[in-house]
Structures are given as C-alpha cells and as structure tokens.
Amino acid sequence: MSECTHDCSTCQSKCSDREEKESLLAPPNSESRVKHVIGVVSGKGGVGKSMVASMLAVAMQRRGYQAAILDADITGPSIPRSFGISDAEVSGTEAGMIPPKSKTGIEIMSVNLLIDEEAKPVVWRGPVIAGVVKQFWSDVVWNDVDYMFVDMPPGTGDVPLTVFQSLPLDGIIIVGTPQELVSMIVEKAVNMAKLMNIRIFGMIENMSYLVCPDCGERISIYGETGMNRLALSQGLPVLERLPIDTKLANMCDTGTIELMQEEYMQHAADVLEDLEKQAK
Ligand code: ADP
C-alpha cells in the first residue's frame, strides 16, 4: 500500500483512516447524485462568505456544470435572498425534498425556504441545527450536481464540525477580510481543517481593495494584507482578491448575484474545474 496522503477523494485504499471517516458520513439521499462538495468557511460572520459561495456557484454554472448550494448557515441564511428566491416553494416527492432552482438553474436548499417569514429567527440549539444540516444532505434530492457549495456557519463550533465529519467534502475554501485574517480566528479554522485532514483549496480575500471611481487606481485600504501573512505561514494559495464593490452588495440585496462580473472567480473556478478534469 502506498503512503497515506490523507486525501480519500483521490485514493481507493480501504485503510482504517478511511473507514473511520466513512463511518461518520451521513448517507446521501438514494436519489441524489453529487460529484464534488466544497465547503466555504470563515472565521467570523459578515466577511462575505455567503456572497463568495454564491459567486462560486454562479461561476461553475456559467462554465456548464450543474452547481448547487447547501446553506448550512442555519441561523444566518442569506443565500435565497442573493438569488431572489426567498419565496420559492420547496416541493417534495416520496424520495425527499426537491431544492428550488435559481434563474440560471442552480439548486438551492436553505432553512429560509422552509420558514414562512424570512426575518423569523431560528431559535434552535446546536445539535438540532447540526441535524438540519445533515437532513439537507440526506433528505434532499440533489439532482445531478457537479459542484455543491456548502455555505458553512462561521467559526469552529458544533455545526462546522458536523459538516466536516458528515459531508463527503472534497475540500474547503476560506474567506476573510484583510483585518480578520490577521486575527487568530481564521487560523483556528485552517488548523481545524488540517487536524481533520480536510483539503484546503486556498483562501479568498474579500474587501481587499477599492477601485478609485475617478482614476481607476487600486487602493489597498488595509495596507499589506493579512492574507499574505496567513498564506505564507500556512503555505496556502490565495485564490482571489475581491474589491469592495457596491454593485456586488447591491446584487446580493436585490437577488441578482447571477449578474456578477465574469472575472471575479476565474482562478478559483479553474482550481475547482481541475477536480473534474482529474476525475476523467
Ligand atoms: P457572511 O456570509 O460572511 O456573513 P455575507 O456574504 O452575508 O457575509 O456578506 C455580508 C454583507 O457584506 C452583505 O450585505 C454583502 O452584500 C456585503 N459584501 C460582502 N462582500 C462585499 C464586497 N466585496 N463588496 C461590497 N459588499 C460586500
């Protein structure tokens, strides 16, 4: 047997490490077919994690893949609003719930699609929330999905731990703002993934700079960025740097994220597309 790479997605060996991992996995719905599962993670809330998860799904859907988003940020779900499907009906069959589709066909499941008022809080304890995330995997019929993005709750608590253990993640992408990335919170998330042998594709630095509307100059408002330091100390690539862009905020608020500019996720999408190319 060759040496363990801790990456079960590219290895067929039935070793004890793999068996232990597999025993904790939640079973997928018998009618689902999902090829790749990517977690989108952040240290804390409000850094643009949901927006990045949405943009990644849009980028892969534009490349001709079937994308999906499992909104595991149960207490702060914002995915349906970004796609303008907050009032979509979730239908069902005997096999399970059928996720509504966005205008361009992205499959989406979120707790906000199941409650009658968007602003109603989800007042549930951690284990119940973690159970709902597992149900979104096991009780939803995900139809022929090439790339599923899991919008994770921020931090390293109970629910991220459940997602890491129960979903067959190919890996994660870490999102942060420059100020947040100099803090140790993101580093904790990086270390949690490493501890659990989860591949980290890289990091996306959000709100990294401003483009002057008059002269087009890029202004790095936070100077030398935290992402550089963290990327260097952890040996992880920076996949994208996104500007503070009022158009993006506006698109999220008005449910039109599918109109985002083409170039924002090109490099990240290339890295994810490699998964498919390698599988062929
Ligand atoms: P999180 O999922 O990390 O809590 P969100 O993706 O919900 O964060 O983003 C928080 C808010 O910040 C949203 O209103 C979003 O539209 C806005 N936002 C995120 N990234 C940017 C950006 N690069 N430029 C402008 N607004 C942004």
At 37-60, the pLDDT tens digits run 999 999 888 899 999 999 999 999
Stronger pLDDT, 21 or 267, i.e. the higher one: 267
Residue 277 Cα to ligand 1 middle (Å): 31
Confidence grade of residue 266 (pLDDT, cut at 50, 70, 90): very high
Confidence of residue 16 (pLDDT cuts 50, 70, 90): low
How far away, in angstroms, is 1 Cα from ligand 1 center? Answer: 46
Distance linking the first and last C-alpha atoms of the chain? 23
Which residues are bridge partners to 92 per DSSP? 97
Ligand 1: centre distance to CA 118 (Å): 18
Q: What is the residue with the minimal CA distance to atom 14 of ligand 1?
A: 249
Q: What is the mean pLDDT of residues 65-70?
A: 98
Cα separation, 182 vs 156, whole angstroms: 17
d(CA 277, CA 152): 26
Q: Is the pLDDT of residue 224 over 90?
A: no
How far, in Å, from the CA of 54 to the mean position of ligand 1?
Answer: 11
- Give pLDDT, residue 146: 97
The structure tokens listed for 197 are: 């042998």
Q: Which atom of ligand 1 is nearest to the CA of 78?
A: 7
Cα 135 to Cα 118: distance, rounded to the nearest angstrom = 20
Reported as a single tens digit per residue, the pLDDT across 74-91 is 888 889 999 999 888 899
- Among protein residues, the one with the nearest Cα to ligand 1's atom 15 is 249
Atom of ligand 1 nearest to the CA of 51: 6
pLDDT category of residue 5 using cuts at 50, 70 and 90? low
Is pLDDT of 188 > 80?
yes
Question: What's the predicted TM-score (pTM) here?
Answer: 0.90
The dihedral over CA atoms of 121, 125, 127, 131, expressed in degrees to the nearest 10, equals -20
pLDDT score of 235: 83
Pick 21 or 115 by higher pLDDT. 115
What pLDDT does 19 receive?
Answer: 64
β-sheet bridge partners, residue 209: 243
Return the pLDDT at 6.
62
pLDDT one-digit tens code per residue, 106-155:
999 999 898 877 777 777 787 888 899 999 999 999 999 999 999 999 88
Q: Which of 252, 257, 259, 264 to mutate to test the pocket of ligand 1 (most atoms within 8 A of CB)?
A: 252
For the CA of 243, the nearest atom of ligand 1: 23
Mean of all residue pLDDT scores within the chain: 88
DSSP sequence for 80-91: HHHTT-TTPPPE
pLDDT of residue 200 exceeding 90, the answer is: yes
Predicted confidence at residue 247, as pLDDT, reads 92
Question: Does domain 38-279 fall into CATH 3.40.50.300?
Answer: yes
Percent of the chain with pLDDT over 70: 89
pLDDT reported for residue 35: 96
| Nearest atom (ligand 1) to Cα of 251 | 16
Q: Quick one: pLDDT at residue 225?
A: 62
Pocket of ligand 1 (CB under 6 A): 42, 45-51, 76, 78, 206-207, 242, 244-245, 248-249, 252
Q: Give the domain ranges of the chain.
A: 38-279
